[in-house]
């Protein structure tokens, strides 16, 4: 049987966030890292680790901040693959802070997907009330404040100075945008569908949809049943699976049994990760600190880390980390340059992860978005079956290794996860075994 829902996400951690929400709503989900060749047999099975099939596939692109033409090209390739895999509905996933300037990619990608699908209308809502993202009268709120008054106005790559999404989309698209406001959404799916009909008759291509609660997203989900394309943050995933009769179930998050050694590789320098490392060290657990300046001096830091790990894997989990407080990171960046330091550390940690897997690690936590990307690439992982959630937004996943084995991996972006994440994660996996 083909997949039901085909998703195109504009970045990696956003893809995982969406996949995690779909699993929690009862779908079995595989996340693919970039687009497989069209017709590539078994890509979904490869992601599954155990060859099982999936109800939804999320393709993770890196298209958020690339030029619009490149984002369109990658998104159309993803669409072609998803359609060949049988997807009945397409979900274009972007950030819940709608990271996209007037020259941004959300509008052009949406229009290209509509064209390719032979469709003339879709909806847009980045709302994710559980994470404090709400849309009211077409304006996006981040917590208590308008997007344009939030930290996003100073974002280095996608500064957001207009919180009115109708005008943001109007500026980005050839077509025109309209609004389905909160009063209509509150009335339910029939009222939303009637408003969609009216907007189409006015010749509009897209409707920004208000949503301030999960109930709003559930009503919207029911209203867009059968719509070829929807566009949203990860929140709308709450409301879609029910259209195919899926209900929340533990079975959707089932992974193959886990085994092997356990390790954590942390290249994140964010506050939450610093605390997680501190807690792990305070617990007296085996940990090896990676010093970027020693890597820059040409020392074999990866080799030392692996030697340390080999001696301690039996009492794992073992932690290998470059995580430092902001002051220490600034010092290193001042000496090496931020980009150079980042790359050196990512390359080293990716080699460590490879060596750990060679030494029998089969349960691996990686902290850091960029670090996760480097590790996954080094391991030759192309797909992940999404399993049970550890903490909000971070699930365990099962990945097929190139040699046919299965690796359980949790990819944690910087500020996610509770303070004991590096031990809680393994306990969570254990529970799924029993």
DSSP 234: S
201: Cβ contacts below 8 Å, ≥ 6 apart: none
Q: How many residues bind ligand ADP (CB under 6 A)?
A: 21
Among 14, 346, 388, 410, binds ligand ADP (CB under 6 A): 346
The distance of closest approach from Cβ of residue 21 to ligand ADP in the complex, given in angstroms and rounded to an integer, is: 20
Pick the closer one to ligand ADP by CB: 172 or 274.
Answer: 274
Pick the closer one to ligand ADP by CB: 170 or 324.
Answer: 324
Question: Using an 8 Å Cβ cutoff, are 353 and 313 in contact?
Answer: no
Pick the closer one to ligand ADP by CB: 323 or 382.
Answer: 323
Among 23, 223, 332, 407, binds ligand ADP (CB under 6 A): 332
Does residue number 150 form part of the binding site for ligand ADP (CB under 6 A)? no
Q: Give the integer Cα–Cα distance in Å for 383 and 78.
A: 14
Among 108, 267, 393, 417, binds ligand ADP (CB under 6 A): 267
Three-state DSSP class for residue 125 = strand
Among the residue ranges 70-78, 106-114, 217-225, 263-271, the one whose residues contact ligand ADP (CB under 6 A): 263-271
Token duo for residue 300? 């074999």
Report the b/e string of 389-405 with b at 16+ CB within 10 A: bbbebbbbbbbbeeeee
Among 142, 233, 324, 425, binds ligand ADP (CB under 6 A): 324
Pick the closer one to ligand ADP by CB: 249 or 333.
Answer: 333
How many Å is the maximal CA-CA distance in the chain? 69
Phi/psi region, residue 298 (left: phi>0; alpha: psi -120 to 50; beta: rest), is left
Does residue number 65 form part of the binding site for ligand ADP (CB under 6 A)? no
Three-state DSSP class for residue 224 = coil
- Binding characters for ligand ADP, 198-237, by CB under 6 A (x = yes): ----------------------------------------
Does residue number 342 form part of the binding site for ligand ADP (CB under 6 A)? yes
Among 120, 181, 370, 424, binds ligand ADP (CB under 6 A): 370
Chain Cα centroid distance, residue 97: 14
Chain Cα centroid distance, residue 298: 34
Does residue number 329 form part of the binding site for ligand ADP (CB under 6 A)? yes
Among the residue ranges 31-39, 130-138, 201-209, 329-337, the one whose residues contact ligand ADP (CB under 6 A): 329-337
The distance of closest approach from Cβ of residue 276 to ligand ADP in the complex, given in angstroms and rounded to an integer, is: 11
Three-state DSSP class for residue 245 = coil
The distance of closest approach from Cβ of residue 28 to ligand ADP in the complex, given in angstroms and rounded to an integer, is: 27
Does residue number 371 form part of the binding site for ligand ADP (CB under 6 A)? yes
Measure Cα distances from 190 to 52, 194, 196, 229 in Å.
37, 6, 10, 19
- Residue 220's CB is within 10 A of a number of other CB atoms, namely 27
Mapping DSSP onto H, E and C, the string for 356-419 reads: HHHCCEEEEEEECHHHHHHHHHHHCCCEEEEEEEEECCEEEEEEECCCCCEEEEEEECCCCCCC
Does residue number 292 form part of the binding site for ligand ADP (CB under 6 A)? yes
- Binding characters for ligand ADP, 374-413, by CB under 6 A (x = yes): ---------------------------------------x
Pick the closer one to ligand ADP by CB: 179 or 269.
Answer: 269
DSSP 174: S
Among 345, 378, 379, 411, binds ligand ADP (CB under 6 A): 345
Query: Applying CB under 6 A, which residues contact ligand ADP?
Result: 267-270, 273, 292, 322, 324, 329, 332-333, 341-342, 345-346, 368-371, 413-414
């Amino acid at each position: 049987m083909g997949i039901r829902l085909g998703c195109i996400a504009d970045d990696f951690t956003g893809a995982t966030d969406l996949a995690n929400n779909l699993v929690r709503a009862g779908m079995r989900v595989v996340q693919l890292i970039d687009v497989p060749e069209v017709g590539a047999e078994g890509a979904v099975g490869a992601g599954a680790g155990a060859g099982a099939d999936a109800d939804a596939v999320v393709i993770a692109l890196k298209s958020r901040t690339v030029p619009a033409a490149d984002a369109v090209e990658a998104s159309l390739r993803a669409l072609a693959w998803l359609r060949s895999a049988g997807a009945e509905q397409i979900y274009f996933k972007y950030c819940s802070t709608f990271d996209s300037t007037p020259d941004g990619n959300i509008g052009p990608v949406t229009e290209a997907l509509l064209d390719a699908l032979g469709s003339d209308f879709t909806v847009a809502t980045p709302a994710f009330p559980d994470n404090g993202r709400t849309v009211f009268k077409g304006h996006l709120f981040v917590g208590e404040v308008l997007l344009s008054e939030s930290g996003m106005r100073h974002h280095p790559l996608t500064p957001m100075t207009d919180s009115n999404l109708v005008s943001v989309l109007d500026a980005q698209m050839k077509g025109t945008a309209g609004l389905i406001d909160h009063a209509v959404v509150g009335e339910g799916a029939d009222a939303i569908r009637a408003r969609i009909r009216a907007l189409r008759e006015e010749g509009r291509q897209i409707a920004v949809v208000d949503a301030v609660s999960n109930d709003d997203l559930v009503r919207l989900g029911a209203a867009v049943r059968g719509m070829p394309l929807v566009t949203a943050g990860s929140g709308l995933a709450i409301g879609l699976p029910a259209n195919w009769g899926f209900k929340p179930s533990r079975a959707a998050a089932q992974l193959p049994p886990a085994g092997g050694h356990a390790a954590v590789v942390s290249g994140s320098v964010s506050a939450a990760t610093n605390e997680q490392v501190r807690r792990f060290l305070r617990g007296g657990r085996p940990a090896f600190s990676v010093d970027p300046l020693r890597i820059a001096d040409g020392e074999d830091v990866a080799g030392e880390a692996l030697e340390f790990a080999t001696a301690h894997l039996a009492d794992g989990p073992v932690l290998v980390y470059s995580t430092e407080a902001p002051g220490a990171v600034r010092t290193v960046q001042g000496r090496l340059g931020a980009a150079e330091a980042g790359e050196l550390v990512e390359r080293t940690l990716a080699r460590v992860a490879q060596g750990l897997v060679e030494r029998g690690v089969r349960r691996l936590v990686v902290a850091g978005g960029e670090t996760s990307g480097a590790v996954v690439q080094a391991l030759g992982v192309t797909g992940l079956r999404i399993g049970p959630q550890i903490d909000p937004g971070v699930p365990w996943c099962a990945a097929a290794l190139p040699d046919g084995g299965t690796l359980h991996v949790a990819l944690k972006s910087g500020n996610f996860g509770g303070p004991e994440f590096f031990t809680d994660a393994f306990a969570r996996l254990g529970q799924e075994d029993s």
